[in-house]
Structures are given as C-alpha cells and as structure tokens.
Chains A and B, each alone.
Chain A
Amino acid sequence: MSIQISKVNKHFGAFQALNNIDLNIQSGELVALLGPSGCGKTTLLRIIAGLETPDTGRIAFHGEDVSNREVRERNVGFVFQHYALFRHMTVFNNVAFGLRMKPKNERPSEKIIAEKVHDLLNLVQLDWLADRYPEQLSGGQRQRIALARALAVEPKVLLLDEPFGALDAKVRKELRRWLARLHEEVHLTSVFVTHDQEEAMEVADRIVVMNKGVIEQIGAPAEVYENPASDFVYHFLGDSNRLYLDPENHILFRPHEVALTRQAEADYQAAEVRDIRPLGAITRITLKVNSQDEPIEAEVIKDHASLNGLTRGQILYFKPKAVTTAHQ
C-alpha cells in the first residue's frame, strides 16, 4: 500500500509544525522520517495515522483519499515510543485486542484468535511471555509485544514513532536490526520516526530529512550522506568539522575524512593534539589549529602509524581527504 501526502499544513496555535509537506511513499518501502525534536516528524506520522487532522492538504492510501476517514477505519498499525500496552491486560490479551474489537460478523472465533496471537508472538520470539503483564517485561520485550499487537489486525501500513527511543543503546541496536529483518519478511509499507541518524541509515530504504516543518531532502541513505542538499543535512547526518580558509570561507569535512602524519608534508596543516580517545576500532584525536577556536576532530583506525607514541601537546599534521561541501 503506497502513501501519498500532498500539501499538508499543520499549526499548533501560532507554531507551524508542518509547512506544505509533499511526500510519496512506495508500496513495501521502509522510510525513516529523520530530524531534530520539534521538526514536525511525529506530527506528520500522527497525521498519516489519523490521530491529528491537518489544517489543509490530503493523505491518500494507494491513491484513495483517506483524509476524512476515522482512525479506526484507516487500518494502520502504530507503535508508540512508550509502548502504550494495555497495562491491565496480559501479553496475550494485548495482542488479541484488535481481533476482539472487530464487529461480530468479522470477528474470528476465540480458537482462531489464539492461533493467530501465538503465531505473532512466535514472530517476535516472545511466545513464552503470553501470560505476563506488561509491567513484568523489559523495555525491548514490551516494544516487540507492541509490534505484534499492531500487526495482529493485518494493517496495510505500519507507523512507528521513535520505536527504540526509550531503550538502552545495546537493546536498541539489536531491535533495529531485528526490525529491518522483519520488514524484509513481511514487506509492509512502513514509516518510522527517529532523531538518530545512525538508526535511519541502518534500517531505512529511504530517508526523509526534516527541519522546522519542511522536508530538507529525500533520498537513499548513501545519497543523503554523500550528497547532502544543505548544510543542515550535512551536519545532521554525521559529525562534521569546519575549517576556516579565511574569515568568510570555510570547508566542511567529516572526522574520518582526515589524513594524519607526524612529519610536515605539502598541503598538510600543523595542529596541536588536545585529546586522544580510543573508541574501539577507531581512535578519535582532537586537534587545535592556530587560525581558529573551533577544534578539528579526526578519526583513524586504532593502529594508524601517526598514533604510535602520540601524547597530548604534540604537533600533528592533517589534511582533509575529501571535502564534501564548501559553503559560504
């Protein structure tokens, strides 16, 4: 099921949350809405779900206008950041909820419901938790149950609002890989909201970068990373260094795009080592250039020749390898 969003505007009082948003999402695609908090990404997701009404503009599913359709008739699966599991129901009853709420003539028998619930719990690998209550589960387990609950009604679209935002780093990583695999299995048109660029890069087929209520860029992860359409996108998608050529002009480059050497060479610039941080496979060196206050960060593999015996206060020579953008 494809989603077409056209000319959507939304205000909250005087605040413009969304400004003329146009976006087409292909059938079976996994799209990330990426941006800082307050950029309108969650509002857009809630408008797709029908939880918010846009001031103007329309939402269509597979070409069919659903703008006036109520939440319960849109048939979307929705996963909340804080899970929103029904706290007084067991895991089983949570997952069965959507099936039991169907009108009598469409409602499956309890036997079929039970089969379906167990299938879904197996899909999220938590069948053994069927009789527990949400408060007895870990955050990662709760979110997987929330996903199973959303999938139970066989939605045409899956919407996820910062689904891993409340989880700790390790669980988060595990779960997003798992989500990407799951998406490959079920191929459901999915939109997820995140402020974490790494998460968007790792999971999504396409990334929609948003800022202050407008879309800055739409593209595949490699595309937005390599060819950012604006300074904002460049900064938001990864760490960046700014090196001033003169007071008016500067160049931008990423920490891993830096060549380092201990001896002065042509095109290399001298800098003082301020900090050395081993981060596992790579080591981050903070450099201070005389011509500017802003430090330069360089990331090199941990056994790089220039690191041998390096201490703070020493002089290193660096050169930006690839300058991605040069803006005023």
Chain B
Amino acid sequence: MTSTTLANPSAARVAQRGNVWGRRFLIAAAWLIFTLFLLLPLYVVVNEALKQGLGTFFTSILEPDALSALKLTLIAVGISVPLNVVFGVAAAWCVSKYDFKGKSLLVTLIDLPFSVSPVIAGLIYVLMFGAQGWFGPWLQDHDIQIVFAVPGIVLATIFVTVPFVARELIPLMQEQGTQEEEAARLLGANGWQMFWHVTLPNIKWGLIYGVVLCTARAMGEFGAVSVVSGHIRGMTNTLPLHVEILYNEYNHVAAFSVASLLLALAIFILLLKQWSESRINRLKASAAEE
C-alpha cells in the first residue's frame, strides 16, 4: 500500500508534465493550421480586394452587375430558406411524433442532397425543365422559362439546402418526446394552438440554428446553381458565379472585392450561428438538470 501511494503522486506528476507539453503542442498545432489554412486565405482575399484602395473596392461592389448578382442571391435565399423552414418542420414533426412504415427510408432520403454532388442536382433540373428535358416542350408552349432563369436557380438552391432544418430538428424533437403536446391537447388546445404555444417555443433555437446553416449554404451555393444559371450577366448570376466570371476575366481586384462581400455575409451568419448554438447548449444544460 505505502509504496503505491508514494509512487502514485510522482507518476501523476509525470503524466501531468507529459500532459502539459502534449497539450501545448496540440494547441499550437491547431492554431498553426487554423492560421495557415483559414486566416491567411481570408487575409489574402481582403488584401487583394483593397489593393487599389477603398475607391476601387466600392466601385466593384456597387457596379450594376454586382448589385444584380447580390439581389439574385438574396432572392434565392429569401425563397429557399422559408420553404426550407416549412418543409423541415413538417418533416421533423412527421418523423419524431408519428410511427409509420418507411420512416427510416424517409429519413435517409432527406439526406440525399447532402450525398449527391451539387452538379448532379443542377443537371437534374436541366434534364427535367431544359429545352430538351421532360417538361421542356410543355414549358415552352406556355412560355415558362425555368432553366437559365431565376426559377431554376431558386429550385437548385432549394434542392441543395433541403436537409438543413429537418436534420437539426429531428434529434431535438425526438429527445423532447410528445408529452407536452399531449398535455396541451388534454387542456383543450387545438392543433394550431398546440404547435404555436408548445412545440414552436421548444424547438425555437434549434430552428434558428438550422435556418442559419441553411442561409449560409444558400448564399454560397456554386455547383448546382452554376449548371442551371446560364451565366447571363446582370440576369442569372448569383454572387459566387459573379466572382468566378470576374476572376476568369483576370479582373482580380473586382473578383476579390465581391468575394469579400460574400465573406462579410458569411461571417455575419457565422456569428448568428454561434449565438443560437450557445442558446441551445444553455437549454440543454437546464434540461439535463431535471
């Protein structure tokens, strides 16, 4: 007994010393990689954008084609995110509150857009709604343009972002169970009252988190949108596509200026995410106390 109690503290000290150096090394390595692969590129983008001064920077951003790209990006986000919220809440509700056949298949299918390459997602819409596509002739007869126009871009964005809200809500709602909803019904609440007063407040922060992730993806989506866009300047260019065009034209300063605009939006979204995440964690911590 005595020898082990004597040996233990020194062994613990050795282990701790090892821990200290190991820890320092890992933290230093993490910062190094973070700096090299994330901070440095960000710095390069902003630096390149400001190379010819603030004047050129603002001219590039405020140029009509850039503004129209920004407008189109915001339209795509503005349509796809609300639809996503509706779809995500409905799917999560369905999966977490009911038992039915094919439930696991549905959950797998929700993830499909995550596993399929965005380029394929774009091609699907070209094949369906393009001039030679399934619905092509019918659409032409009725003078409806989907591919190489705004509707196609919105559709492609919706496809790519579909899983975000549902993925965030399903585990949260499964964990919360159905008892509060049952209690609400027993107390005379109708379906809508139950959803509005009981379900929604309980999933609020998870929903916000899902919306933030979905928004970030909708803004940045390149692959799928690129296929259906047709790259018509001032018409069907979103911000990421506009950056690519400028870059291909060797207009580096303008490309990086618009890129930093996209970057600023992304950082803003990231801060929102951080904030909603901390709220969720706090809720979880209080729930765990029960």
Q: Which of A118-172 contact B (CB under 8 A)?
A: 135, 149-150, 152-153
Is B185 touching A80 in the complex (CB atoms < 8 A)? no
With A78-B183, A86-B198 known as contacts, the answer to whether A135 contacts B188 (CB < 8 A) is no
Q: Indicate if B115 sits at the interface (CB-CB under 8 A).
A: no
With A87-B202, A88-B202, A135-B287 known as contacts, the answer to whether A72 contacts B183 (CB < 8 A) is no
Is B287 touching A149 in the complex (CB atoms < 8 A)? no
Q: 5 A-B Cβ contacts within 8 A? A: A72-B186, A87-B287, A101-B184, A150-B187, A153-B188
Is A135 touching B179 in the complex (CB atoms < 8 A)? no
Is A98 touching B179 in the complex (CB atoms < 8 A)? no
Q: Indicate if A82 sits at the interface (CB-CB under 8 A).
A: yes
Q: Mark A53-82, 1 if CB is under 8 A from B, else 0.
A: 000000000000000000110011110101
In the complex, A82 Cα to B183 Cα: how many Å?
11
Q: Indicate if B111 sits at the interface (CB-CB under 8 A).
A: no
Q: Indicate if B190 sits at the interface (CB-CB under 8 A).
A: yes
Q: Indicate if B140 sits at the interface (CB-CB under 8 A).
A: no
- Which B residues are in CB contact (< 8 Å) with A86? 180, 183-184, 197-198, 201
- Which A residues are in CB contact (< 8 Å) with B180? 84-87
Is B186 touching A76 in the complex (CB atoms < 8 A)? yes
Is B186 touching A135 in the complex (CB atoms < 8 A)? no
- Which B residues are in CB contact (< 8 Å) with A51? 182, 186
Q: Indicate if B193 sits at the interface (CB-CB under 8 A).
A: yes
Is A98 touching B182 in the complex (CB atoms < 8 A)? no
Q: Indicate if B119 sits at the interface (CB-CB under 8 A).
A: no
B interface list, Cβ under 8 A from A: 179-180, 182-190, 193, 197-198, 201-202, 286-287, 289-290
Is B179 touching A84 in the complex (CB atoms < 8 A)? yes
A interface list, Cβ under 8 A from B: 49, 51, 71-72, 75-78, 80, 82, 84-88, 97-98, 101-102, 135, 149-150, 152-153
In the complex, A80 Cα to B178 Cα: how many Å?
12
- Which A residues are in CB contact (< 8 Å) with B201? 86, 88
Point out the residue from B184, B190, B202 that lies within 8 Å of A97, measured CB to CB: B184
Question: DSSP majority for the B interface?
Answer: helix
Please give me the 10 A-B residue pairs with the lowest Cβ-Cβ distance, nearest first: A98-B187, A84-B179, A84-B183, A88-B201, A101-B189, A78-B186, A71-B185, A101-B188, A72-B188, A135-B286
In the complex, A82 Cα to B177 Cα: how many Å?
11
Is A135 touching B289 in the complex (CB atoms < 8 A)? yes
- Which A residues are in CB contact (< 8 Å) with B187? 72, 97-98, 101, 149-150, 152-153
Is B186 touching A71 in the complex (CB atoms < 8 A)? yes
Shortest beta-carbon distance from B184 to chain A in Å: 7
Q: Which residue of chain B has its CB nearest to the CB of A146? A: B183
- Which B residues are in CB contact (< 8 Å) with A78? 182-183, 186
Point out the residue from B184, B188, B198 that lies within 8 Å of A102, measured CB to CB: B188
In the complex, A29 Cα to B142 Cα: how many Å?
71
Q: Which residue of chain A has its CB nearest to the CB of B286? A: A135
Q: A84-B180, A87-B180 are in contact. List 13 more A-B contacts (CB 8 A).
A: A49-B186, A72-B188, A72-B189, A76-B186, A78-B186, A85-B180, A86-B198, A88-B202, A97-B187, A98-B187, A135-B287, A149-B183, A153-B188
Shortest beta-carbon distance from B280 to chain A in Å: 13
Shortest beta-carbon distance from B179 to chain A in Å: 4
- Which B residues are in CB contact (< 8 Å) with A102? 188
In the complex, A78 Cα to B182 Cα: how many Å?
9
Shortest beta-carbon distance from A302 to chain B in Å: 40
Shortest beta-carbon distance from A102 to chain B in Å: 6
- Which B residues are in CB contact (< 8 Å) with A87? 180, 202, 287
In the complex, A84 Cα to B176 Cα: how many Å?
10
In the complex, A76 Cα to B286 Cα: how many Å?
31
Q: Which residue of chain A has its CB nearest to the CB of B187? A: A98
- Which B residues are in CB contact (< 8 Å) with A153? 187-188
